[in-house]
Structure 1
Amino acid sequence: MALMADRAAMARTLGFFKHSLTLIRSFSASATSTPSNAAPTSVAKKPKRRKKKKNFFEVARYLPNWGLGYQMAKTHWVGVSYEITKINLYKDGCHGKAWGIVHKEGKPAADAPKKISGVHKRCWRYIPNSKKAIESQPVPEVQAA
């Protein structure tokens, strides 16, 4: 019984000693820190949220006429894109089917349109230097004198 009482007294003493050391550390840390360092530590920074990538129809939505005639590709494709020829859009505007002509290295690789696979995957991007975008810009004509 005496041993149990001694252990309890020892545990209380050690607990008090640990708390006093923690208190001393907190005072010494706040005294040595500068005001510029205090602001970031007091406010916990939230981790940046990763931007959600867009599926085919979410990209095409912002193009004129739902992107017909424009080129789009998946983000991980290198040198391959589709020129959009037809879109079958479902009611919600984020789902459907699409057809296009495959382009490799900027040149058509096929004559007939092909159904585009993976249109609902979130990895699509618009190719800004497509033929339609270049054709829509007015070309200044030079007159021979």
Structure 2
Amino acid sequence: MAQTLVEYARSFHSNLSTGVLMIPVPSTATLILEFGMAVPAAPSNYVELTTTVGWEVTNVFATPPDQPKLLLEVLVDGILVGSAQQSSISNDEDEPLRMTTMFQTILNDLPEGYYPVQVFATNLEDLQGDIILRGPILITGKVIAPV
């Protein structure tokens, strides 16, 4: 069965990996991205969400395995539908450690409607060091349905 892109939406702070943007990530869930997306009435539709977040670790207080840990959560209409968790990797240097976390979330057969999409970030090990979002920071959403 042929499929077509019927809706596209996105939210971003920066496309650059070394931009001037600096968003600190606390130990409580913090909203970093959001947008709305319409899903038309169509059988066998699916929604593909792609989340990319560039981050750096500073002020590391301990040695491995105790490192800052980033949790990213994607909510659609207030319901958790995807997440990724990544620990930083110690490089034993004074320079900030830069990392990028990217993941996809696929939803099948959503009912027709308008859906808010939100991304939250949390530093799960904030006593081990600081996490700062630097970029890229973005999420894209596509609705695919049969022709």
Q: Which TM-score applies when normalising by structure 2?
A: 0.22
Higher relative contact order (CA 8 A, sep 6+): 2
Which is richer in helix? Answer: 1
Q: Which TM-score applies when normalising by structure 1?
A: 0.22
Specify the structure having the higher radius of gyration (Cα).
1
